[in-house]
Amino acid sequence: MELICPLCGETLEKTEKSFRCPNRHSFDIARQGYVHLLPVQSKRSASPGDTREQVASRRRFLEGGFYEPIARAVTQAALDTGARGEILDIGCGEGYYGAYLASRLGCPLTGVDISKEAVRCAAGKYKEHTWLCASAAHLPVKDGSVALLTALFSVTIPGEFHRVLREGGCFLQVLAAPDHLLGLKSVIYDRLTEKPKDSVPQIPGFSLVKTEPIRFSFTVKGEQVQNLLAMTPHVYRIGPQGAARLRETQTLTDTASCVLNLYRRA
């Protein structure tokens, strides 16, 4: 995938140990193989995005195979589109879904995440792909260079996504449905409140091709109960009583409920 300099927008050339633009801006390839392309001024905090602990929990949970039905559904939807070429995974986390999809499609993958810990973890395991620490709001990617864009449990930035996708390119989005992980929620919260949520958003510059539910049950035990919590936004909201109840939960059977939306760039 053609990368552009986050400072001046010129094309980046890869050398052995770095990426460089004609204006002499240079970005080192880290020992683990990822590239940091997030300008300091784009950072709202010193270490934005998921923390090292969250990333490690996500890796352990996803490697348990509990969410493979999601990876399979995304792969099938991508195969159905017939889209082939460069894949860009936004908010790629520790790389599980992107690597799964790319290996089955046989297409090159670039994963982008604002968390350095996430791309470090992804690069350590999936060495054949490109991993960038960058913001979805300022993608260091040339206009029209992406065939298939994915964002799973992540952010959607209509303008940037439209810019980087080629004409007719596809965007696959997975969002949690309102009844996602009700089992976990009923352990950690005293009362369940349902916030209205748009599971099939309209995205300017894109037309919705199809939407489908992904729903399945799974059971986690022991440490995987805590890993599941750490992967969700509930980790920020849980109170001491809910945390205590969850610590006592040795086995949790829950239902993952998501929506897969497929859009085409207009």
Ligand X SMILES: C[S@@+](CC[C@H](N)C(=O)[O-])C[C@H]1O[C@@H](n2cnc3c(N)ncnc32)[C@H](O)[C@@H]1O
* Residues at the interface with ligand X (CB under 6 A): 49-50, 58, 91-93, 96-97, 112-115, 118, 135-137, 152-155
Residues 114-134 as b/e (b if ≥16 CB within 10 A, e otherwise) read bbbbbbbbbbbebeebbbbbb
**Which residue lies nearer to ligand X by CB, 134 or 252?**
134
By the rule CB under 5 A, 23 interacts with Zn ion: yes
DSSP 235-247: HHH--HHHHHHHH
Give dist(CA 18, CA 128) in Å, integer. Answer: 17
Paired residues of 152 in beta bridges: 174
Task: Choose the contact partner of 111 out of Zn ion, ligand X, none; CB within 5 to 8 A by kind.
Answer: none
> What would the two tokens of residue 148 be?
């298939």
Sheet containing strand 26-28, edge to edge, reads 13-14, 18-20, 26-28
Provide, rounded to whole angstroms, the least separation between the CB of residue 11 and ligand X.
Answer: 22
Q: What's the one-letter identity of residue 101?
A: L
Give dist(CA 196, CA 23) in Å, integer. Answer: 48
Task: Choose the contact partner of 7 out of Zn ion, ligand X, none; CB within 5 to 8 A by kind.
Answer: Zn ion
Provide, rounded to whole angstroms, the least separation between the CB of residue 180 and ligand X.
Answer: 12
By the rule CB under 5 A, 8 interacts with Zn ion: yes
The crossing angle, in degrees rounded to 10, of helices 116-125 and 52-63 is 40
**Which residue lies nearer to ligand X by CB, 20 or 142?**
142
Task: Choose the contact partner of 93 out of ligand X, Zn ion, none; CB within 5 to 8 A by kind.
Answer: ligand X
By the rule CB under 5 A, 220 interacts with Zn ion: no
Task: Choose the contact partner of 135 out of ligand X, Zn ion, none; CB within 5 to 8 A by kind.
Answer: ligand X
Of 21, 114, 132, 147, the one binding Zn ion (CB under 5 A) is 21
By the rule CB under 5 A, 52 interacts with Zn ion: no
Q: Which residues in this chain contact Zn ion in the complex, by CB under 5 A?
A: 5, 7-8, 21, 23, 25
